[in-house]
Amino acid sequence: MRVGLGMILLGAALIALSATAQTPTAPSGTDSAQPPAEPPGAPPPAAASPAPPSPTPPSPTPPSVTVLGSQEVQGILGREIRSTADENMGRIVDVLVDGEGRTRAAIIDFGGFLGVGSRKIAIDWKALHFVPAAGKKYGIVLELTRDQVKTAPEVKDGKPTIVLGASGNLESLP
Amino acid sequence: MAEPACALPHPSRRSLRGLDWFIFLVADLQTGFGPFVAVYLTSEKWTQVEIGLVLSVAGLVALVGQMPGGALVDAARSERTVAAVAVTLIAAAALTYALWPVFPAVLAAATMHAAASCVLGPAIAAISLGLVGHSAIGERFGRNARFASLGAGLSAAVMGGVGYFFSTSAVFFVTAALLGPALFVLRRMAWQEIDPERAHGNMPEHHIHEPPIDVRSLLTRRPLLIFGGCILLFHLANAAMLPLMGSVLTTRSSEWATVLIAACMVGPQFVVAASSPWIGRQAQKWGRRPLLIAGFAALPVRGLLFATVTDPYLLVAVQLLDGLTAAVFAVMVPLTVADLTRDTGRFNLTQGIIGTMMGVGAALSPTLAGYISDHAGSATAFLGLAAIGVVGFAAVWLAMPETRPAANGAEDARPGTD
C-alpha cells in the first residue's frame, strides 16, 4: 500500500529531523524556496539514511528494530491540513510515491460542505510542512492558500495526475 | 374510536402534530448520512477503496430494497411500529459509525441504514394516508414536505456547524440522540386513528377487506409506467446538478465556497417549506398535471442557467429554483402514487416501484454528468442534464394523464387505469 510506505518515509524523515544536521543530501535540490516562517523546515523526502534497505540476506540475523516515540512520528492519513493563512485545506486521503519510494504528492480532499462539492486534488509533497506544534498536537501546513488551490483539477483514476506545486503552478506527474 | 366503514376519517389534532414532528425529526436523522459519511470515514483514516466499497453496497441496498420495503409496509398492520423500528435502526447505525468505525461494523451499519430508509419513507406516507384518507391527502403531503424540508435545512446548518466546531464524529452522536424525541412524538400519535386499510391504499368507504390486487396487473397500468419513466428522467437530470454545481463553485470562489455550498443546500429547503402546503392545496383544486408540468419546466431552466451564469452568488439564486421543483415532486410523487393505487391495497409497494425508478435515475446521473464534464466541461454537462430535463418535460406534457379523481371525495373514484 503506497500510503503505508508514505507514512514510514515520513517517520524516517522526522528521525532525520530530530537527529538534525544530517545535511540534506540532494536528490531534490529545490528546497531553497521555503518560507522562513516554518521553524523546522521541510526535510527532504529522501531521508532514508537511518536504515539502508539492503536486500534481505539469507542468514537468520534478526531484523533491526527502531523505536519511534508517539511524539516523534504520526500517521497522516485523514489528517487535517491548514494553509499558512490558517485556512482549512481539507484532509490527506492518499500519498503518492514514485518507483524509488520517494513521496511525490499528497492527495487532499478539498472544499465542500457536509461532503457536497469537495474534490480530490494532488499537491506537491514539497509544499507540505510538518510542524510538531508545542505539546501533543501535530500540524500539517500547506504552503498554499485556498485561492491558489481552488483551480486545481480533480484527481481521476487512470489519468495523469496534475500536481499543484509549492509556487502555485501545475505540473504533470508521468 | 371504532370507525364505521363509510365515514371519512377525522384524525385528532394531536396525531397530526405528532406526524409533523416525526417527519421533521426523521429528516434531521437522515441529514448526517449521505455524502458526509465519506468525509467522516476519511477523517477516521479509511482509504478511498474501503469508503467506495461501503458507499456502493449501501447504494445498492437502498435501490434493491425499495420494493420489498414498500411491500413490507403494505403487509404490516401497524405502520407506527414499522416506523419506530426503522428509526431505531437508523439511530443505531449512526451510533455504530461514531463509536466503532471499523470496516465490518460500518458496512453492516450502512446496510442497515439503507434498508431501514427503504421502509421508513413508505411508512411515513402510509401513516399520512391512514390518518387523513384519500380525500385530504394532497394537503397532508404538502405539510409533510414542509416539515421534512424544515428538518433537512435546519439540521444541515446545525450539523455543518457541529462538524466544523467539534468533530466529524459528533455529527453522528447528534443524529443518534434524535432517536428519543422521534420515538416520543411517534408514540403521541393515536394508533387507533391510523387505519391500516387506508394506509395500504384501500378506501373503506367503497369496499371492505378486499385482497390487494395482483402485482402484475399493477405493473401493466399505463399511467403508472409513464409516471415512473418521467420520475426516472427527472432524477437522471436532477441528481447530479447540485454536486456538479458545488464542484464548480469551489473552483470559482475560495473563502466563500463552503458557505455558498451550504446556502445551496439549505436555501431550497426553505423554498420547499414555504410553498409545499400551497402546492398540496392547488393539486386538489387545479389537478396534478399543471403542477407536475411546472415542476418539470423549472429543471431545464436551471440547467441552462447553471451552464451560462458564472457569478457564484447568482448561482445560489438559481439554485433556489431547485426548491420549487423539489416542492412539486415532494408532494406530487406520493400524491400521484396514492391516486393511481386507489382501492388496490398496494400503495406502498407502488411507492417502492417509483422509488426504484428514482434511485436508478439518481444513481446514473452523477456518472453521466461526470463523464460529460470530464470530456467536454461542466457547462456542457449542465446542458446535457437540461436536455434530459426537456425530454422528461415533454413526456409529462404529452403522455401523463391527469390522475386527480373525477369528483373530489365520495362518489366516484376510478383509478386512472385502462
Q: Is A168 on the interface with B (CB under 8 A)?
A: no
Quick one: which of A63, A93, A55 has its CA closest to A77? A93
Who has greater pLDDT, A16 or B175?
B175
Q: Is A78 on the interface with B (CB under 8 A)?
A: yes
A164 pLDDT higher than 50: yes
Per-residue pLDDT at B225: 92
The pLDDT tens digits of the residues spanning A95-128 come to 999 999 999 999 998 887 877 888 888 999 888 8
Band of residue B360 on the pLDDT scale cut at 50, 70, 90: very high
Say if the Cβ atoms of A117 and B261 lie within 8 Å. yes
Q: Where in chain B do CATH 1.20.1250.20 domains reside?
A: 11-198, 217-405
Q: Is B7 on the interface with A (CB under 8 A)?
A: no
Rounded Cα–Cα distance for residues B291 and B224 (Å): 17
The pLDDT tens digits of the residues spanning B214-267 come to 778 888 888 999 999 999 999 999 999 988 888 888 887 767 778 888 888 889
Q: Exposure of A68 by Cβ count < 10 A (0-12 exposed, 13-18 middle, 19+ buried)?
A: middle
| Contact between residue B283 and residue B338 where contact means Cβ atoms under 8 Å apart | no
Per-residue pLDDT at A44: 47
- For B221-251, b/e burial (b = at least 16 CB within 10 A) is bebbebbbbbbbbbbbbbbbbbbbbbbbbbb
Q: Mean per-residue pLDDT for B327-348?
A: 91
Which one of B48, B156, B374 has the shortest CB-CB distance to A114?
Answer: B156
Who has greater pLDDT, B210 or B315?
B315
Give the gap in angstroms from C-alpha B2 to the nearest C-alpha of chain A.
47
Q: What dotted CATH number matches A2-21+35-51+63-172?
A: 2.30.30.240
Ordered strands of the A139-142 beta sheet: A128-131, A139-142, A80-83, A88-97, A103-110, A119-124, A162-164, A170-172
Residues B217-405, CATH architecture:
Up-down Bundle (1.20)
Q: What is the largest CA-CA distance in chain B?
A: 64
Q: Is A69 on the interface with B (CB under 8 A)?
A: no
Nearest CA in chain A to B247: A117
3-state helix, strand, coil in chain A (%, to 5): 15, 25, 60
Q: Mean per-residue pLDDT for B406-416?
A: 46
Quick one: which of B212, B188, B237 has its CA closest to B350? B212
Which one of B45, B159, B250 has the shortest CB-CB distance to A119?
Answer: B250
Interface test with A, best of B43, B250, B254, B367 (most A CBs within 10 A): B250
Secondary structure of residue A119 in the 3-state scheme: strand
Give the gap in angstroms from C-alpha A47 to the nearest C-alpha of chain B.
25
- Which residues make Cβ contacts (< 8 Å) with residue A14, sequence separation at least 6? A43, A72, A73, A130
Say if the Cβ atoms of A150 and B42 lie within 8 Å. no
Interface test with B, best of A77, A108, A114, A140 (most B CBs within 10 A): A114
| Helix (DSSP H) and strand (DSSP E) numbers for chain A | 2, 8
Residue B293: all three cell numbers together: 408540468
Which residues of chain A have a CB within 8 Å of the CB of B159?
Answer: 114
Who has greater pLDDT, B80 or A25?
B80
The pLDDT tens digits of the residues spanning A77-87 come to 888 888 887 77
Q: Is A125 on the interface with B (CB under 8 A)?
A: no
The pLDDT tens digits of the residues spanning A33-61 come to 444 444 444 444 444 445 555 555 566 78
- Would you tell me which residues 362-381 of chain B have a C-beta closer than 8 angstroms to some C-beta of chain A? 374
Which one of B252, B254, B261 has the shortest CB-CB distance to A112?
Answer: B261
User: Which of A36-45, A78-87, B25-34, B58-67 has the least mean pLDDT?
Assistant: A36-45
- Which residues make Cβ contacts (< 8 Å) with residue B13, sequence separation at least 6? none
Who has greater pLDDT, B248 or B388?
B388
Quick one: which of A81, A96, A66 has its CA closest to A138? A81
* Residue A19, CA distances (Å) to A16, A70, A117, A152 in order: 5, 16, 42, 36
* CB pairs < 8 Å spanning A and B: 95
Region of B85 please: left (phi>0), alpha (psi -120 to 50) or beta: alpha
Which residues of chain A have a CB within 8 Å of the CB of B245?
Answer: 117
Rounded Cα–Cα distance for residues B270 and B150 (Å): 7
The pLDDT tens digits of the residues spanning B265-308 come to 889 999 999 999 999 999 988 989 999 999 999 999 999 999 99
Q: Is A145 on the interface with B (CB under 8 A)?
A: yes
B412 pLDDT higher than 80: no
Q: Is A171 on the interface with B (CB under 8 A)?
A: no
Interface test with B, best of A1, A113, A155 (most B CBs within 10 A): A113
The pLDDT tens digits of the residues spanning B165-174 come to 888 889 999 9
Say if the Cβ atoms of B258 and A113 lie within 8 Å. yes
Give the gap in angstroms from C-alpha A112 to the nearest C-alpha of chain B.
5
A28 pLDDT higher than 60: no
The chain-wide mean pLDDT, for chain B, equals 87
Q: Which CATH class is domain B11-198?
A: mainly alpha
Percent of chain A with pLDDT over 70: 58
Nearest CA in chain B to A86: B255
Element housing A83 (H / E):
strand A80-83
Q: Exposure of A107 by Cβ count < 10 A (0-12 exposed, 13-18 middle, 19+ buried)?
A: buried
Band of residue B5 on the pLDDT scale cut at 50, 70, 90: very low
Residue B182: all three cell numbers together: 422521534
Per-residue pLDDT at B182: 95
B411 pLDDT higher than 60: no
Grid cell 385482497 is found at: B211
B111 pLDDT higher than 80: yes
B343 pLDDT higher than 70: yes
Per-residue pLDDT at B251: 80
B337 pLDDT higher than 60: yes
- Would you tell me which residues 28-67 of chain A have a C-beta closer than 8 angstroms to some C-beta of chain B? none
Residue B23: all three cell numbers together: 417527519
Which one of B45, B252, B254 has the shortest CB-CB distance to A78?
Answer: B45
Per-residue pLDDT at B196: 85
| Contact between residue B29 and residue A107 where contact means Cβ atoms under 8 Å apart | no
Q: Mean per-residue pLDDT for A70-94?
A: 83
Kindly report the CA angle at B399 between B394 and B405, in degrees rounded to 5?
A: 125
Per-residue pLDDT at B354: 94
Query: If you write DSSP's letter for every residue of B165-230 in order, what string do you get?
Result: HS-HHHHHHHHHHTHHHHHHHHHHS-GGGS-HHHHTT--TTT-SSPPPPPHHHHHT-HHHHHHHHH
What does the domain layout of chain A look like in residue ranges? 2-21+35-51+63-172
Per-residue pLDDT at B77: 87
Per-residue pLDDT at A11: 47
Residue B417: all three cell numbers together: 387505469
Which residues of chain A have a CB within 8 Å of the CB of B254?
Answer: 145-147, 149-150
The one-character DSSP state at A99 is: T
B409 pLDDT higher than 90: no
Phi/psi at B169 (5° precision): -75, -20
Residue B40: all three cell numbers together: 467522516
Give the gap in angstroms from C-alpha A154 to the nearest C-alpha of chain B.
9
A23 pLDDT higher than 50: no
Say if the Cβ atoms of A146 and B262 lie within 8 Å. no
| Contact between residue B20 and residue B147 where contact means Cβ atoms under 8 Å apart | yes
Residue B44: all three cell numbers together: 477516521
Give the gap in angstroms from C-alpha B344 to the nearest C-alpha of chain A.
40
Say if the Cβ atoms of B36 and A94 lie within 8 Å. no
User: Which of A41-45, A66-70, B326-330, B342-346 has the least mean pLDDT?
Assistant: A41-45
Q: Mean per-residue pLDDT for B396-415?
A: 67
Q: Mean per-residue pLDDT for B368-384?
A: 90
A30 pLDDT higher than 50: no
